[in-house]
């Protein structure tokens, strides 16, 4: 990156009032909060800039601030963090959000902002800062800055030369065409497209399918490189072109969930920084999911100044795939399936299975039979017989059921199970998978998950053969 990371957007002042509550008010059934301590931090685009600066490198915040104590406080906090602020005048007061918190939980939020804010005054230095960027993060909080024609033209010009990430807001402006990555959360993506989490106007399939449909529609509508729909504890889904299979990056399991405030800013700032170093969108999204998860696990904003329990595995006595699917469906859950030979189970297999299980409420493995493996892999395969492969998979905590199929493709078993999500390892990324058309019949979604490079059964076999030959040669010698 030859220039700074420029964060463009609406800055706020966030203030946490932390205290204790050990009694109720005598005049209303509300807790009495006492012993308050105040902690201020930049909010909105200011928080995104602060987080980016903590990662190292030059960061410039292009924003508008009011000539009031809150505006001066935001500027001082950012300057102390090493962020250069280029600010126009914001008519009226700088928006302030105050959270009253007890024992780490928010009881109340008070927003102080203009009810009908006037447009911010954009100065030439703001436009020039965007033009000199090595990468741009637009952090839109719906207060009018991203609607300014001069700034939009500058961002559009930047998008032709450097990576631009746009974190949108339902009250904000549409991203300019040519943006590398847009990062709405699921609720925002559904709102932008008029869809619902259960499939809305075009069928079911659960959260992942809804995110995929919304992401694809927004990619085409906005004419951007990709849309990463963030799914909270579910990670993120990256939708690209109409011929690409969506990439799902599950969030790592974390302990007691901390304060999620700012997780979206952490995600977007990380994605922008990684793209600026030449990373692919898939790599940037993977890094952003990890960073946002670590941010929340560390306490969110509190982390600036315990692992979640793994998903439930199968019962002690293995259940059939039909039983598992029936129980999950009856509870309104999401059925996830994946498939393969799983001959000599290795770390790459385990990574795929763990990622797949995080996408729903159960994971069914569709396993190629011995005869099927032999036709697909050739003489000498499988190395591990079918029943042993079933037993090993069923022993994994993330696998809820295993079903064996004898055909060369899993189409028949998929048609019987009708999963909401069909998962493949990331080495299948690119053109649509043959299963995609099948799952579309019932509103299901095909996705890929990140692939653990350098792991394969073929590689293990080759290594074992070389080792055996070397050992035999030493014996003969």
Whichever domain contains 86, its CATH number is 3.40.1190.20
Is residue 474 in a domain? no
pLDDT-derived band at 239, boundaries 50, 70, 90: very high
State yes or no: pLDDT of 469 exceeds 90.
Answer: no
Q: In what order do the strands lie in the sheet with 105-112?
A: 31-44, 11-24, 96-102, 105-112
Mean pLDDT to the nearest integer, 214-241: 95
The answer to whether residue 468 is domain-embedded is no
Contact 254, 297 (CB under 8 A): yes
Q: Residue 344: which CATH number?
A: 3.40.50.620
pLDDT given for residue 434 in this prediction: 82
Quote the percentage of the chain above a pLDDT of 90.
68
Nearby residues of 454 by Cβ (< 8 Å), 6 or more positions away: 348
Task: Check whether 241 has a pLDDT greater than 90.
Answer: no
258 and 341 in a single domain? The answer is no
Q: Taking residues 234-244, what's their average pLDDT?
A: 89
Q: Out of 303, 333, 362, pick the residue that ends a domain.
A: 303
Quote the domain boundaries for residue 219. 5-20+33-303
Q: How many domains is the chain partitioned into structurally?
A: 2
E strands, 148-294, are 164-167, 181-182, 227-230, 236-239, 247-249
- Please give the Cα distance from 303 to 325 (Å, whole number): 40
**pLDDT above 90 (res 328):** yes
Average pLDDT of span 324-348: 92
Q: Is residue 311 part of a domain?
A: no
Per-residue confidence (pLDDT) for residue 255, from 0 to 100: 62
User: Which is more confident, 241 or 99?
Assistant: 99
Q: 61 and 180: one domain? A: yes
More confident residue, 317 or 395: 395
| Whether residues 211 and 341 fall in one domain | no
Residues 343 and 270 in one domain: no
Rounded-to-integer distance, Cα 124 and Cα 111, Å: 30
Range with the largest mean pLDDT of 128-137, 140-149, 417-426: 128-137
Among the candidates 245, 271, 303, a domain finishes at 303
Specify the pLDDT at position 198. Answer: 57
Band the pLDDT of 92: cuts 50, 70, 90: confident
Regarding whether 339 and 245 lie in a shared domain, the answer is: no
76 and 47 belong to one structural domain: yes
Number of C-beta neighbours around residue 418 at 10 A: 16
The residue-averaged pLDDT of 344-364 equals: 92
Residue 231 lies in a domain: yes
Please state, in angstroms and rounded to a whole number, the distance separating the CA atoms of residues 5 and 164: 10
146 against 456, higher pLDDT: 146
d(CA 181, CA 167): 9
User: What is the biggest distance separating any 2 CA atoms in the chain, rounded to whole angstroms?
Assistant: 94
Query: How confident is the model at residue 179, as a pLDDT?
Result: 97
Confidence band, pLDDT 50/70/90 cuts, at residue 127: very high
Q: Which of 10, 14, 140, 265 is catalytic?
A: 265
152 in the same domain as 200: yes
List, in order, residues 6 or more apart from 256 with CB less than 8 Å away.
306, 308
Q: Which of 303, 334, 360 is the last residue of a domain?
A: 303
**If pLDDT is split at 50, 70 and 90, which confidence band does 316 have?**
very low
What gap in Å lies between CA 262 and CA 303, rounded to an integer? 11
From 192-206, 320-334, 393-407, the region with the lowest mean pLDDT: 192-206
Range in 1-10, 156-165, 421-430, 434-443 with the lowest mean pLDDT: 421-430
Contact of 92 with 64, CB cutoff 8 Å? no
φ, ψ (nearest 5 deg) of residue 373: -60, -40
Residue-averaged pLDDT of the chain? 87
Residues 438 and 369 in one domain: yes
Distance between CA atoms of 50 and 337, rounded to whole angstroms? 40
- Catalytic residue check, 202: no
Lowest average pLDDT, out of 53-67, 176-190, 272-286, 424-438, goes to 424-438
Assess whether 281 and 408 both reside in one domain. no
3-state DSSP assignment of residue 432: coil
pLDDT at position 428 is 54
Interstrand relation of 164-167 and 335-340 (parallel, antiparallel or unpaired) = unpaired
153-193 pLDDT, tens digit each: 999 999 999 999 999 999 999 999 999 999 999 999 999 99
> Residue 310: inside a domain, yes or no?
no
Same domain, 101 and 171: yes
pLDDT at 470: 53
Which tokens is 67 given?
A: 């000539």
**Least confident stretch, 8-12, 327-331, 391-395, 472-476:** 472-476
Q: Distance from first CA to last CA of the chain, Å, rounded?
A: 56
Which of the pair, 471 or 63, is modelled with greater confidence? 63
Cα separation of 423 and 140, whole Å?
Answer: 33
Please report whether residue 175 resides in a domain. Answer: yes
The answer as to whether 315 is a domain residue is no
Which tokens sit at 365?
Answer: 């493995």
Q: How confident is the model at residue 113 (pLDDT cuts 50, 70, 90)?
A: confident
Range with the poorest average pLDDT among 56-70, 198-212, 233-247, 388-402: 198-212
- Percentage of the chain beyond pLDDT 70 is 86
Q: Which residues pair with 9 in a beta bridge?
A: 139
Provide the pLDDT for residue 204. 57
79 lies in a domain?
Answer: yes
CB 98 within 8 Å of CB 112: yes
Written in H, E and C, the secondary structure of the chain is CCCCEEEEECEEEEEEEEEEEEEECCCCCCEEEEEEEEEEEEEEHHHHHHHHHHCCCCEEEEEEECCCHHHHHHHHHHHHCCCEEEEEECCCCCCEEEEEEECCEEEEEEEECCCCCCCCCCCHHHHHHHHCCCEEEEECCCCCHHHCHHHHHHHHHHHCCCCEEEECCCCCCCCCCCCCEECCEHHHHHHHHCCCCCCHHHCCCHHHHHHHHHHHHHHHHHCCCCEEEECHHHCEEEECCCCECCEEECCCCCCCCCCCCCHHHHHHHHHHHHHHCCCCHHHHHHHHHHHHHHHHHCCHHHHCCCCCCCCCCCCCCCCCHHHHHHHHHHCCCCEEEEEECCCCCCHHHHHHHHHHHCCCCEEEEEEECHHHHHHHHCCCCCCCCHHHHHHHHHHCCCCCEEEEECCCCCHHHHHHHCCCEEEEEHHHCCECCCHHHHHHCCCCEEEEECCCCCCCHHHHHHHHHHHHHHHHHHHHC
Which pLDDT band, with edges at 50, 70 and 90, does 450 fall under? confident
Confidence check: pLDDT of 256 > 80: no
pLDDT at site 309: 36
Indicate whether 370 and 437 sit together in one domain. yes
Interaxial angle between packed helices 263-276 and 281-297, expressed in degrees from 0 to 180 and rounded to the nearest 10 = 140
Q: Do 55 and 197 lie in a common domain?
A: yes
Three-class SS of residue 244?
Answer: strand
Q: Which of 264-273, 306-315, 346-355 has the lowest mean pLDDT?
A: 306-315
Mean pLDDT of 317-342: 89
pLDDT value, residue 463: 52
Burial category of 249 from C-beta neighbours within 10 Å (exposed 0-12, middle 13-18, buried 19 and up): buried
CA distance 431 to 455: 22
Mean pLDDT, rounded, for 217-224: 96
For 37-61, the pLDDT digits (tens) are: 999 999 999 999 999 999 888 999 9
pLDDT of 115 reads 72
The residues pairing with 34 across neighbouring beta strands, listed in sequence order, are: 20
């Amino acid at each position: 990156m030859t220039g700074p990371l420029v964060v463009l957007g609406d800055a706020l002042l966030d203030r946490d009032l932390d205290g204790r509550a050990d009694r109720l008010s005598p005049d209303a059934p509300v807790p009495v909060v006492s012993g308050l301590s105040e902690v201020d931090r930049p909010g909105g685009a200011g928080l995104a800039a602060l987080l980016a600066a903590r990662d190292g490198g030059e960061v410039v915040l292009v924003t508008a601030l009011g000539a009031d104590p809150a505006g001066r406080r935001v500027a001082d906090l950012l300057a102390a963090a090493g962020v250069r602020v280029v600010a126009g005048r914001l008519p009226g007061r700088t928006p302030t959000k105050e959270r009253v918190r007890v024992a780490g939980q928010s009881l109340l939020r008070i927003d102080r902002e203009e009810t009908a804010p006037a447009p911010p005054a954009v100065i030439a230095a703001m436009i020039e800062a965007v033009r000199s960027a090595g990468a741009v993060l637009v952090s839109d909080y719906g207060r009018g800055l991203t609607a300014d024609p001069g700034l939009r033209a500058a961002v559009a010009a930047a998008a032709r030369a450097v990576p631009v990430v746009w974190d949108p807001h339902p009250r904000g402006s549409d991203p300019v065409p040519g943006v590398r990555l847009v990062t709405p959360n699921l609720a925002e993506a559904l709102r932008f497209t008029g869809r619902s989490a259960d499939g809305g106007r075009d069928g079911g399939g659960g959260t992942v399918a809804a995110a995929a449909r919304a992401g694809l529609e927004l990619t085409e509508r906005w004419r951007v490189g990709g849309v990463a729909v963030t799914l909270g504890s579910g990670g993120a889904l990256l939708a690209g072109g109409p011929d690409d299979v969506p990439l799902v990056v599950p969030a790592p399991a974390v302990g007691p969930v901390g304060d999620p405030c700012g997780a979206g800013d952490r995600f977007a700032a990380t994605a922008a920084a990684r793209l600026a170093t030449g990373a692919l969108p898939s790599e940037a999204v993977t890094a952003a999911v990890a960073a946002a998860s670590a941010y929340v696990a560390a306490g969110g904003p509190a982390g600036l100044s315990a692992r979640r329990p793994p998903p439930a595995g199968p019962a002690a006595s293995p259940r059939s795939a039909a039983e598992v699917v029936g129980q999950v469906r009856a509870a309104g859950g999401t059925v996830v399936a994946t498939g393969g030979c799983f001959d000599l189970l290795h770390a790459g297999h385990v990574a795929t299975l763990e990622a797949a299980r995080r996408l729903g409420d159960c994971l069914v493995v569709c396993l190629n039979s011995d005869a099927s493996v032999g036709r697909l892999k050739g003489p000498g395969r499988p190395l591990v017989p079918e029943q042993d492969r079933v037993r090993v998979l069923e022993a994994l905590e993330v696998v809820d059921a295993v079903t064996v199929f004898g055909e060369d493709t899993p189409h028949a078993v998929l048609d019987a199970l009708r999963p909401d999500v069909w998962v493949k390892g990331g080495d299948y990324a690119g053109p649509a998978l043959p299963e995609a058309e099948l799952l579309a019949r019932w509103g299901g979604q095909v996705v890929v998950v990140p692939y653990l490079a350098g792991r394969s059964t073929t590689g293990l076999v080759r290594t074992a053969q070389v080792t055996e030959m070397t050992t035999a040669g030493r014996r003969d010698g």
